[in-house]
Copies of this chain bind each other. A is one copy, B any other.
Amino acid sequence: MKIAIIGSGNVAYHLALAFHENHFFVSQIIGRNKKALEEIHQRTGFAYEIDFNKIKPADVYIIAVKDDSISESASKIKVKNTLVLHTAGSVSLDVIPQNFRRGVIYPLQTFSKNKKLKYNDIPFFIETENEKDKETVMELAQIISPKVMYADESTRNQLHLSAVFACNFTNHLFAIAEELCHQKNIPFEYLLPLISETTEKIKNLSPKDAQTGPARRNDLPILKKHISGLDGNTKKIYEIISQNIIKTYH
């Protein structure tokens, strides 16, 4: 099975490394960022190409580009009726042109360029237009991780939405906490043991049961005190999340 990856961003980078780590050969990586492609090449030995008119034939193309470039990238593939997969959480497989066998291979993880990942820990959610391609995509994902599940579009959307709350928004709360620390010259590192414990806890306890803090206790004097020290969006975020915690538990 000949696999090509289209893209030169973080997802393409980590997919290439993950295949390489599992001794699986990717026949070509096509992307716009030459420097990024060279780095992938150095780490994996995989051939790369920056000219989208020189995409070589392959059995499966994995398109790991920005959501709104998937359609255009796919249109550069000249092999008819081949299997074309995108990697996006909240995009329908319909954005891939109809002349392909279409599918999705969605890794539920946050990818940063120079951050090592345990690839076999990543859950992959796959979807295929045709039943007969299901097994192929399943096996492809299983090269990287044993955690491969089938998820239809609406389930995948919901997974992505959940991930936005659990990962992207959580990180933004860390950024707000960091900013609050810096206002008083407090090193943000002081918060790291607390943050570790917060995520450690929910490995064995539902987050609903793990909730603590002033809003959980409905401690109105503390809430009032905290709100008085905030302004703008940070204040609004404090208010709405506290309100929702109180609503959930009281």
Task: Please list the residues of chain A having a beta carbon within 8 angstroms of any beta carbon in chain B.
Answer: 66-68, 90, 108-112, 115, 117-118, 121-123, 147, 149, 151, 154-155, 157-181, 183-184, 186, 188, 190-199, 201-203, 205-208, 210-217, 219, 221-222, 225-226, 229-230, 233-234, 236-238, 240-241, 243-245, 247-248
Q: Are B110 and A175 in contact (CB under 8 A)?
A: no
Name the residue of chain B whose CB is nearest to the CB of A196.
B199
Q: Are B197 and A117 in contact (CB under 8 A)?
A: yes
- Specify the main secondary structure of chain A where it touches its partner: helix
> Most B CB atoms within 10 A — which of A108, A118, A158?
A158
Q: Are B167 and A194 in contact (CB under 8 A)?
A: yes
Q: Are A244 and B248 in contact (CB under 8 A)?
A: no
Q: Are A191 and B166 in contact (CB under 8 A)?
A: yes
Chosen A-B contacts, 5 in total, with CB atoms closer than 8 Å, are A111-B212, A162-B186, A164-B238, A170-B173, A174-B202
Q: In the assembled complex, which residues on chain B have CB atoms less than 8 Å from the CB atom of A248? A: 172, 175
